[in-house]
Amino acid sequence: MPSFAGKVAVITGAGSGIGRALAGQLAAQGCHLALADIDADSLEATAAPLRREGLRLSTHVLDVADRDAVHVFADRVMTHHGGAHLVINNAGVTVSQTIAELRYDDFEWLMGINFWGVVHGTKAFLPHLLAQGEGHIVNLSSIFGIVSVPTQGAYNASKFAVRGFTEALRQELHRTPIKVTCVHPGGIRTNIARSARFYQGADGRTDASRAAARFDRLARTSAEQAAGIIIKGVQSGRPRIMVGADARFLDHLQRLLPAAYPRLLGKLMKKG
């Protein structure tokens, strides 16, 4: 998809962070938008400055963990916009807790959004993309879908699952006109750490405010920079997009030292 002008992009988790940045940059390229988020106020804050003559923009309050709601959302997008060309399953949350102490309801909440939200978005829109004969599905995994760290077991599980699901989908669709991309952001300056269900840091004692401040220090890539990298990668048809120098470094580290990287990563995290 070399040009987004006149196309329709669907973005979940559009109320903040990477989703909001993607909406702004795609709108600047003449792309029509169907924006979804569970938070109506944040969704409107994203949409309000983008509304202008000639741009079709619809907003949808949506819980991506609700399968039926996502399928209704897809039908409404197709009716309102007449099609969808770029589907970005971006909505995500995190929980910080050891696996031994992780509650089942927290695990289910996170998987419902991070993994099932991607599955629902893909399954709801894929028949429409196939019927229209073009489209691109972009699923947000994470560098934590490539490497694992303590207290992020649930998040790791969800993002590894997104990666596996997306890579299988790409192989299944390789003889069709539908392209598939998996995105692996590193540390991105968004509100995900502040909106997390936080119980415990990697050291077993860090409180939520200190962890958020530490995340801010380590997250070197802005949401706007991340969105730009993703858009360029989609335009060039890349199947996998690494976002940030930290993501590229950790990807290489895991490839070179698949057994030793946890020990090395632990030392780096303590220094941070």
Say if 2 falls within a structural domain. Answer: no
Give pLDDT, residue 2. 76
Is the pLDDT confidence value at 71 over 50?
A: yes
Least confident window among 44-58, 112-126, 218-232: 218-232
Which of the two residues, 53 and 66, has the higher pLDDT score? 66
Say if 202 falls within a structural domain. Answer: yes
pLDDT over 70 percentage in the chain: 86
Instruction: Give the model's confidence band at 259: pLDDT under 50 very low, under 70 low, under 90 confident, else very high.
Output: confident
Q: Over the chain, what is the mean pLDDT?
A: 90
Say if 158 falls within a structural domain. Answer: yes
Say if 255 falls within a structural domain. Answer: yes
Say if 94 falls within a structural domain. Answer: yes
Give pLDDT, residue 198. 53
CATH number (domain holding residue 133): 3.40.50.720
Catalytic site positions: 155
Say if 205 falls within a structural domain. Answer: yes
Q: Supply the range of the domain harboring residue 164.
A: 8-271
Say if 189 falls within a structural domain. Answer: yes
Number of compact structural domains in the chain: 1
Say if 81 falls within a structural domain. Answer: yes
DSSP string, the chain: ----TT-EEEEESTTSHHHHHHHHHHHHTT-EEEEEES-HHHHHHHHGGG--TT--EEEEE--TT-HHHHHHHHHHHHHHHS--SEEEE-----EEB-TTT--HHHHHHHHHHHTHHHHHHHHHHHHHHHHHT-EEEEEE--GGGTS--TTBHHHHHHHHHHHHHHHHHHHHTTTSSEEEEEEEE-SEESSTTTTSEE---TTS---HHHHHHHHHHH--EEHHHHHHHHHHHHHTT-SEEEESHHHHHHHHHHHH-TTTHHHHHHHHHHH-
